[in-house]
């Protein structure tokens, strides 16, 4: 992984593959049983853990961009799972919070998602789990640093998929 020579040597690719495999049962649970998307669940879980947040703070905590967060919060509000309350005197400032129905749904889903997580890490010994936890913490901090340093002179254009730029 230090000197990748193939796709399988890239840490991000391996993590993405792990996420795809381990996330599939959670997606089936969320969409099939509860009618919510993974992104919506992530917002519910963040709000349950952190309490009411501004839309920008929610987007940052959930690792989503603001437009996707806005769309998902709109869907969740329409389902009665969260509320958006405008701050007095400034219609541009708002706080997003779980409703009682949102709290109940979170409390019902979380143990099931935690059980999938427990089954995933069950193949590891306690010492391996501790090392993995430490490694993930270190890698996350390094990724934050790299995010602040690398490729700051260009902007991603996710709608175009980067296809507008032709490389020789």
Pick the CATH number of 7-149 from 2.60.40.1220, 2.60.120.260, 3.40.50.720, 1.10.10.10: 1.10.10.10
Q: Which pTM was predicted?
A: 0.83
Residue 4 confidence (pLDDT)? 92
Whole-angstrom distance, CA of residue 104 vs CA of residue 10: 39
Q: Give me the mean pLDDT over the 29-55 stretch.
A: 97
- CA–CA–CA angle 109, 74, 72 (5° rounding): 55
Beta carbons of 129 and 86 less than 8 angstroms apart: no
The H or E element spanning position 85 is strand 82-87
Q: Give me the mean pLDDT over the 71-87 stretch.
A: 94
Report phi then psi at 155, rounded to 5: -110, 145
Two tokens at 93? 């400032």
- pLDDT digits 0-9 by tens, 115-152: 999 999 999 999 999 999 999 999 999 999 998 888 77
Is 162's pLDDT higher than 60? no
Distances (CA, A) of 117 to 41, 56, 113, 166: 15, 28, 6, 41
The H or E element spanning position 90 is strand 90-98
> Which residue did the predictor score with more confidence, 161 or 121?
121
Q: Give me the mean pLDDT over the 6-25 stretch.
A: 95
Residue boundaries of the structural domains of the chain: 7-149
Q: Give me the mean pLDDT over the 36-52 stretch.
A: 97
Residue 152 confidence (pLDDT)? 79
């Amino acid at each position: 992984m230090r000197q990748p020579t193939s796709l399988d040597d890239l840490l991000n690719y391996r993590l993405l593959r792990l996420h795809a495999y381990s996330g599939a049962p959670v997606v089936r649970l969320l969409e099939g049983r509860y009618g919510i998307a993974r992104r919506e669940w992530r917002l519910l879980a963040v709000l349950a853990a952190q309490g009411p947040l501004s839309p920008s703070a929610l987007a940052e905590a959930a690792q989503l961009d603001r437009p996707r967060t806005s769309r998902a919060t709109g869907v969740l509000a329409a389902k009665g799972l969260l509320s958006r309350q405008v701050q007095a005197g400034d219609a541009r400032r708002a706080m997003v919070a779980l409703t009682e129905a949102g709290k109940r749904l979170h409390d019902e889903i979380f143990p099931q998602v935690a059980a999938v997580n427990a089954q995933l890490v069950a193949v590891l010994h306690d010492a391996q789990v501790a090392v993995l936890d430490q490694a993930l913490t270190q890698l996350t901090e390094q990724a934050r640093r790299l995010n602040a340093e690398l490729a700051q002179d260009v902007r991603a254009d996710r709608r175009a998929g980067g296809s507008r730029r032709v490389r020789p």
